Structure 1
Amino acid sequence: MKLRLEDNTLRLRLTDEEVQQFAQTGHLASAVPLAPGPDGRLTYALQVADDDSTAAEQTLRVAYTPGTLSVLVPASLAQSWLAPDQIGLSATMRLTDGNELRILVEKDLGCRH
């Protein structure tokens, strides 16, 4: 799974195999070591949200704690994205400081490495 951060955009791209794993488990994670020691790594994940019962949460969102970045996908949205004809998901999340974060999750089906 590729993570790309640029300006106010967070983008995840998944290979076909990673899409299949996400379909089976509802979770996919990768880690990047940024410094020595156990606290020196960034873990990023795509996961089905635990609760997508409210209309306000029927969109992609991000959960962040130091060292961990998770893109949360409501179950109904994840199910439709897993259909063969659906390539990407996108949303804009409003942040408390007035900024916005654009979130993109895409199938990288042409990637074969």
Structure 2
Amino acid sequence: MKLQSDKGEIRISSEVFTNITGAAAINCYGVKGMAIRSKTDGLVHLLRRESMSKGVKVTYNEDSTVSIELHIIVDNGVNLMAVSRSIMNEVRYNVSRITGVEVKNVDVYVDSMVIG
């Protein structure tokens, strides 16, 4: 993403957005981690902390905002609506605070639930 100011140009890579998003999401109660669906076997896999950005997709919008899509794995027994709302608020706040870019929407996909 390219931001223009009176002093010059700022470029923020998509990795910055995905890392901020992944870190904000996994710090929420009930989130076990980020998820990715394997192309070979179609199963959902829990990502390690160092590769959690793979469970995040960032889309740059025409109006200089971003849209974020997250795929997560949650603990068994948590309220999915409460966890999803918490993630949406946390991601929106952290991305806006750190980058200065407005977040248009945050879509949370619960791909799996871990029992035990």
TM-score by length of 1: 0.32
From the two aligned structures, give the one with the greater helix fraction: 2
Bigger Cα Rg: 2
From the two aligned structures, give the one with the greater strand fraction: 1
